[in-house]
Chains A and B, each alone.
Chain A
Amino acid sequence: QSVLTQPPSVSGAPGQRVTISCTGSSSNIGAGYDVHWYQQLPGTAPKLLIYGNSNRPSGVPDRFSGSKSGTSASLAITGLQAEDEADYYCQSYDSSLTGLWVFGGGTKLTVL
């Protein structure tokens, strides 16, 4: 059971927009800690996609965007492309006894 809750799967047709939610609590996202998002293509290491809630590293297309409000965060992908099919994970810091970092359970994005 992950500390951050994500939907197990989302899907969309090419060109469409999808969102992935990440729900936490008052000890992590709700405490004001940043949320980061990672994309994991099959058989590869995770890659940083969004940092600090809404910032894109160099090279990440502006089709990807992030937001945060209260105890939740969201990743939005517009103009879906086949290459976006991957697993997506949110991550934050937690001030409780669970440890320093927490991850979401991951969301499998299927491009129909």
Chain B
Amino acid sequence: QVTLRESGPALVKPTQTLTLTCTFSGFSLSTSGMSVSWIRQPPGKALEWLALIDWDDDRYYSSSLKTRLTLSTDISKNQVVLTMTNMDPVDTATYYCARIQGHYGPASYWGQGTLVTVSS
């Protein structure tokens, strides 16, 4: 059974760095074809793709946010960590992680999401 769960702070201050952890089970990121993506959704707005890390440890970032995003993994703990620097109130959103098949495959499994509010 595949599950994903996001964890991290619910509130961060402007200019701070956000660190979110995606803890997953039911698959291994070292298995060929497995990828994990981060996707966010501001309140009342559309989904926005942020980043993807694949089975070869290759990382891909949204071009509009790539200077602020970093992905890392802890394969032994089945975790993918997203770091976003210089947080701004417009970054207030629910952040989801999801399992992807390859790069082109759909997000078949999603975490429940974690709401991050950026406010002083």
Residues of A within 8 A of B (CB): 2, 33-34, 36, 38, 44-48, 51-52, 57, 89, 91, 93, 97-106
Contacts and interface: CB of A to CB of B under 8 A. Distances in A.
Given A89-B47, A101-B52, A46 B62 contact: no
B56 to A, nearest CB: 14
Contact of B52 (A2, A38, A100): A100
A102 B104 CA distance: 11
Contacts of A33: 104
Given A36-B106, A45-B113, A48-B107, A99 B47 contact: no
A6 to B, nearest CB: 9
State which size class the interface on B falls in: 20 to 34
A52 B101 CA distance: 12
A36 B49 CA distance: 14
A2 B62 CA distance: 13
Residue in B37, B60, B96, B107 with the greatest tally of chain A CB atoms within 10 Å: B107
Contact of A99 (B46, B62, B111): B62
A106 B103 CA distance: 22
Interface string B86-120: 00000000001000000111111011110000000
Contacts of B52: 100-101
B33 to A, nearest CB: 15
A90 to B, nearest CB: 10
Given A47-B110, A48-B106, A101 B46 contact: no
A44 B96 CA distance: 11
A98 B50 CA distance: 11
